[in-house]
Amino acid sequence: LITGGSPPMAKRKVLLAPTSLLVALSFALTSAVSPVADAAPKKTLKLLWSDEFNGKKGSLPSSKTWSREIGGGGWGNSERQYYTDKAANASMDGAGRLVITANRISNEYSEQIGEVPGTEDILNRCSECQFTSARMKTARNLSFQYGRIEARIKMPQGVGTWPAFWMLGGDLLDGVPWPECGEIDIMEFRGDIPDRTTSAIHGPTTPQGSGLGAAFLSYDSLSNGYHTYAIEWKKNSITFIVDGRVTGTYSSADTGSRGWVYNQKFFLILNLAMGGTYAGEYIDPMVNQAQLHVDYIRFYSVNGVGKVFRG
């Protein structure tokens, strides 16, 4: 993560350790048969902010909301993309969606593919980068505390894709390092498991490199349609929800009071990585382009709890 003049920070290693993955998948399989209700029946949601991505085709995401991170170098996870601020990597489709596009610029042998201006310069600075892509954040523009955050997303196709919709604690911007700042992964996906997404929290006392998380299984490729990924977040508790069904709930009882670092403002991040420690080192050489489609992102208060902060 680049924050101001700070150096890139590793997002982290692997989302779920093998043991916790089995537990999470077991939970997801059980809930697929006997789904858990989204939340308490008496619940009032009030929309406080949204980005509906209704710009003209080819227009950039709003600079009042999003800043674009630029660079490569693996981001601490052996990733194979170089993030740009170009419309070719993140722009509106003219039909109410944001499209983040990863475009191949070299093969696995670091040989340039295509003649897009600037490619040679990117490869000179990042020889391992096989794609250009985009990573967007709301840091220093918007942050959120408690409430419900949701996004309706269609996943990319192809082995090696690694999109994520996630959050980092605002005190990272004041110099508090990861994982002490806290991380909330609302959605992560890896292209070699096309029917599953995962969610997790990471903090100073969650399992190193794995966090506490749950999985969602759709039994169909998630690139075939849109699904809604959400959290409902209150003091000392975070619940993960996919398509209106709870996949997991975590609280300060799971981390100990010293390890619960989520009672603060967080900012949003949306990105499409290629390869890396979570998605696997292998990227299908036949994948020349991958696209993440985002219909909207919305933030609600829940029963009057939840705030959005600007600046």
Residues 218-238 have pLDDT tens digits of 989 999 999 999 999 999 999
Residue with tokens 């490569």: 72
Whether the per-residue pLDDT at 26 is higher than 70: the answer is no
Tokens of 280: 């696997």
pLDDT in tens, 168-205: 999 999 999 999 999 999 999 999 999 999 999 999 99
Tokens of 262: 């989520």
| pLDDT score for 300 | 98
Q: Among residues 69, 79, 150, 188, which one is catalytic? A: 188
Whether the per-residue pLDDT at 24 is higher than 70: the answer is no
Whether the per-residue pLDDT at 159 is higher than 90: the answer is yes
Q: What average pLDDT is seen over the chain? A: 88
188 catalytic? Reply is yes
183 catalytic? Reply is yes
How far apart are alpha carbons 248 and 213 in whole angstroms?
A: 7
Name the 3-class secondary structure at 32.
helix
How far apart are alpha carbons 92 and 41 in whole angstroms?
A: 36
Whether the per-residue pLDDT at 293 is higher than 50: the answer is yes
What phi, psi does 154 have (nearest 5°)? -115, 130
Residue with tokens 């048969």: 33
pLDDT in tens, 92-141: 999 999 999 999 999 999 999 999 999 999 999 999 999 999 999 999 99
Q: Among residues 69, 79, 150, 183, which one is catalytic? A: 183
Of 67-71, 72-76, 85-89, 159-163, the range with the lowest mean pLDDT is 72-76
| pLDDT score for 3 | 31
The letter for the amino acid at 105 is I
How far apart are alpha carbons 106 and 104 in whole angstroms?
A: 6
| pLDDT score for 41 | 63
- The percent of residues above 90 in pLDDT, for the chain, comes to 78
Other residues' Cβ atoms within 10 Å of the Cβ of residue 280: 16
Average pLDDT over residues 65-90: 94
User: Up-side HSE of residue 46: CA atoms within 13 Å toward CB?
Assistant: 10
The residue with greater pLDDT, 9 or 271, is 271
How far apart are alpha carbons 188 and 80 in whole angstroms?
A: 17
Spatial CA neighbour of 49 closest among 299, 303, 232: 299
